[in-house]
């Protein structure tokens, strides 16, 4: 693949110093990305809802060096404290993006970051964190290449975020984004995410996502390891084909607003993701007993009330409870009365569909 469209050369004077602050949200996949090939390219296309409340705020302070350095020079503060254990990830990110962001070694950076969601809540901070950093860097690049169009800026931001963490590329825009080339999605690409190109039905407007924190412990298997286990996985090809078909189906559902069909595909995708984990070699399980109890309760509630509430899962034990805005009051009652008991320390986060990264 030729990604030369994302290469820039330094043509104008580099700004001496400054500060850029932005926020970028997390996102929740409806059709899951699970399996990748080098470098950070997905085996199948995925679709997600961008979130609103769960986000990272990142400030990038930059100061131009007198002499060009041979190494990256950055300090990292997380919630006001130095965070040396995050540094290798940022170092690896800088190495990956260096050929596209030629000014990196010209600066000393101080990166200050904080999340709205509790630390170690089991909510992946890599999507919001990497997209926020990519967004700040591209705002700096914009000062150097002021002629860049808004569309090119968004595409390159997503392109860089992807190199930090695959799912991060879907957080730059909202409310629905697609990452991965797919014949039914105009403009889609393996290299960056795009906004869902068709009009999303009003049934999905302000769609709610209440995240039940079932287990806040460290995951036994990271996403990176999980993705790798799809190499040589006995069901890999069937899974990638299924995801490709599911994108076509979900596309029509998002346009038509058919909520029963939405429930069917979203829950099936969540369980298929975990089925892939259970059938990897070595196999593993990230759901906990309370994850299953919550799923049972949601199914019972739906049967009794006819509600359109459903669940999805990411690579962990937490449950994302998805429901239309019109049902907000009823479903929140159900959650507090019947589901909170399964949450660790009764914790849950109320979120909804959102619109992506922005400057503060």
Query: Which residues are near ligand DP6 by CB under 6 A?
Result: 29, 32-34, 40, 46, 124, 126, 165-167, 223-224, 227, 273, 314-315
Q: 38: which residues sit within 8 A by CB, 6+ positions away?
A: none
Kindly report the backbone phi and psi dihedral angles of residue 183, in degrees, each rounded to the nearest multiple of 5, phi listed first: -60, -25
Q: At closest approach, how far in Å is the CB of 256 from ligand DP6?
A: 23
Q: Going by DSSP bridges, is the β-strand pair 348-352/73-78 parallel, antiparallel, or unpaired? A: unpaired
Q: At closest approach, how far in Å is the CB of 223 from ligand DP6?
A: 4
Q: At closest approach, how far in Å is the CB of 29 from ligand DP6?
A: 3
3-state DSSP of 266-279: HHHHHHHHHHHHHC
Region for residue 8 given its phi and psi (left: phi exceeds 0; alpha: psi -120 to 50; beta: otherwise): beta
Q: Which is nearer to ligand DP6, 62 or 351 (CB)?
A: 351
Region for residue 93 given its phi and psi (left: phi exceeds 0; alpha: psi -120 to 50; beta: otherwise): alpha
Query: CA triplet 105, 110, 113: central angle to 5 degrees?
Result: 125
Number of helices (H) and strands (E) in the chain: give both, helices first.
Answer: 8, 14
Q: Which is nearer to ligand DP6, 90 or 124 (CB)?
A: 124
C-alpha dist (Å) from residue 117 to 26, 32, 135, 164, 242: 10, 22, 20, 20, 33
Q: Which is nearer to ligand DP6, 22 or 315 (CB)?
A: 315
CB-based burial, 4-38: b 16+ in 10 Å, e otherwise: eebebeeeeeeeeeeebebbbbbbbbbbbbbbbee
- Residue number with the smallest Cβ distance to ligand DP6: 166
Q: Which is nearer to ligand DP6, 140 or 164 (CB)?
A: 164
Q: Which is nearer to ligand DP6, 126 or 244 (CB)?
A: 126
Q: At closest approach, how far in Å is the CB of 357 from ligand DP6?
A: 16
Q: Which is nearer to ligand DP6, 24 or 223 (CB)?
A: 223
Q: At closest approach, how far in Å is the CB of 214 from ligand DP6?
A: 15
Q: 84, 207, 189, 75: which is closest to 197 by C-alpha?
A: 189
Q: Which is nearer to ligand DP6, 180 or 324 (CB)?
A: 180
Q: At closest approach, how far in Å is the CB of 348 from ligand DP6?
A: 19
Q: Which is nearer to ligand DP6, 34 or 103 (CB)?
A: 34
Q: At closest approach, how far in Å is the CB of 174 from ligand DP6?
A: 14
Cα 97 versus chain centre, distance: 19
Q: 110: which residues sit within 8 A by CB, 6+ positions away?
A: 59, 60, 61, 74, 75, 77
Q: At closest approach, how far in Å is the CB of 210 from ligand DP6?
A: 18
Q: Which is nearer to ligand DP6, 61 or 267 (CB)?
A: 267
DSSP string, 275-302: HHHHTSSS------HHHHHHHHHHHHHH
Q: At closest approach, how far in Å is the CB of 204 from ligand DP6?
A: 18
Q: What is the CA radius of gyration of the chain?
A: 20
């Amino acid at each position: 693949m030729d990604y030369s469209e994302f290469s820039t050369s330094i043509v104008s004077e580099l700004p001496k110093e400054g500060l850029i602050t932005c926020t970028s949200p997390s996102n929740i996949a409806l059709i899951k990305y699970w399996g990748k090939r080098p470098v950070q390219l997905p085996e199948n296309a995925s679709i997600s809802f961008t979130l609103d409340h769960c986000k990272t705020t990142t400030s990038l302070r930059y100061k131009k060096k007198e002499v060009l350095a041979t190494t990256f020079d950055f300090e990292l503060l997380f919630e006001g404290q130095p965070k040396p254990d995050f540094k290798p990830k940022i170092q690896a990110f800088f190495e990956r993006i260096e050929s596209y962001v030629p000014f990196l070694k010209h600066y000393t950076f101080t990166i200050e970051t904080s999340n709205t969601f509790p630390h170690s809540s089991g909510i992946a901070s890599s999507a919001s964190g990497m997209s926020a950093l990519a967004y700040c860097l591209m705002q700096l690049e914009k000062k150097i290449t002021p002629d860049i169009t808004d569309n090119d800026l968004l595409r390159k931001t997503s392109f860089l975020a992807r190199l930090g963490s695959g799912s991060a590329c879907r957080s730059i825009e909202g409310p629905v984004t697609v990452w991965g080339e797919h014949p039914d999605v105009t403009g889609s690409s393996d290299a960056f995410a795009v906004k869902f190109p068709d009009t999303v039905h009003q049934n999905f407007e302000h769609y709610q996502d209440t995240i039940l924190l079932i287990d806040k412990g460290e995951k036994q298997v990271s996403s990176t390891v999980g993705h790798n286990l799809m190499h040589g996985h006995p069901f890999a090809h069937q899974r990638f084909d299924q995801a490709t078909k599911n994108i076509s189906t979900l596309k029509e559902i998002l346009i038509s607003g058919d909520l029963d069909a939405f429930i069917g595909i979203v829950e099936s995708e969540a369980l298929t993701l975990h089925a892939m984990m259970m059938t990897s070699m070595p196999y593993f399980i990230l759901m906990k007993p309370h994850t299953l109890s919550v799923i049972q309760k949601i199914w019972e509630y739906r049967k009794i009330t006819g509600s359109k509430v459903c669940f999805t899962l990411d690579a962990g034990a937490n449950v994302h409870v998805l429901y239309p805005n019109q049902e907000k009051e009823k479903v929140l009652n159900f959650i507090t009365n019947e589901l909170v008991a399964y949450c660790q320390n009764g914790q849950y986060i109320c979120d909804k569909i959102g619109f992506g990264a922005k400057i503060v």
